[in-house]
Chains A and B, each alone.
Chain A
């Protein structure tokens, strides 16, 4: 079977899987980013009772494999009565994981905003939180766009792990299709191409976004 006919045959199945993959990526990046904002603000501006738990949490998540985190949620919870679907576990696991990494990127970005910005905010009577929200965060969020883009692409790629716990995303569909005709290699080449196209499109899109929201003269340091 040549690769083109294979591709056409596989398409419906793969598109089904692709929907799930994209959905997972979207949910994870949204919740992950929200988490990341709160965690990073807590880490930079919080007192020690807020900072230390956050630091421990971030180190735990960043120091352990994503797969193990998924296993803990998927296999570790049922004995205690919490039985979640593979997809739900995947969404939760990816969100938490992304949250921790995003928090670190954002922390770096926040700390790269010069302290005179916050000081100037104080000088016109803003409170600490007004200053953070009106002055530091808008700039930090723009500066973090390159790292954040990386994170989206990372998530897109690593949603493939959900296959291992049985979620029906792109990888799972590919494997299912391949197991019917034993053309494993060719099918995975097709799958690889699909990811390639997605990543390319996403990268282009984010470049455009970055360009659109650029502050003239105020480029982030790569």
Chain B
């Protein structure tokens, strides 16, 4: 329909913001998740305890609450952050809790006997990790990470509540002048759908390229 066609530029602007939030949040999550996963696999009891507490808390609180805590929390330590940043921090930190689980699972599911075999060949721990565990762990981690990417993409819609001018808000702007909520929000939904499908398909392709028979695990429930 004409309406959707003419709204497209504005919606695309919003989609770009959405994609940015997604990428930055995932990146933040990744950066945090790797040392966390390490700590969970190779750390001592105290580290494991702290980490499991961190994860439990982040997974029990609604994302919306996390976003508000970040948004209203930073000013208390004297830093005023824009809504976009608050969204990235909130979504990213929460994603780190899930991503670290994925990495931990992936590392642990590469069997201990492979590590032993590597060490007994004379490799040191770092070599063993990089050459033997990492290549397999990466492949195992891809499906759940694909899942996580799609989830983060959809969760960025919550940034709307902080006032971020993302895809959903652009839809809202258009509606406030055209008064056609159903087609516009449906178009918004379709754009998300296209993004989700693209993510799933391209990561599935990527996974296929890397595939080694016999290596893989289940996805998490959302």
Chain A residues at the B interface, C-beta cutoff of 8 Å: 59-60, 62-69, 71-72, 75-80, 101, 105, 146-147, 150-151, 153-154, 157-158, 160-161, 163-164, 171, 184-185, 188-189, 191-192, 195-196, 199-200, 221
Contacts and interface: CB of A to CB of B under 8 A. Distances in A.
Main secondary structure, interface of B, reads helix
Given A64-B193, A80-B182, A200-B60, A191 B65 contact: yes
B130 interface: no
A171 B196 CA distance: 28
A18 to B, nearest CB: 13
Nearest to A108: B218
Contacts of B221: 101, 105, 146-147, 150-151, 154
A199 B60 contact: yes
Interface in B120-161: 150, 154-155, 157-158, 160-161
A71 to B, nearest CB: 5
Interface residues of B, number: 41
B189 A171 contact: no
Interface of B: 57, 59-66, 68-69, 72-73, 76, 150, 154-155, 157-158, 160-161, 168, 171, 175, 179-182, 185-186, 188-190, 192-193, 196-197, 218, 220-222
B26 to A, nearest CB: 16
Contact of B196 (A63, A164, A192): A63
Given A65-B154, A72-B181, A151-B221, 5 more contacts: A72-B182, A75-B175, A101-B221, A157-B63, A192-B65
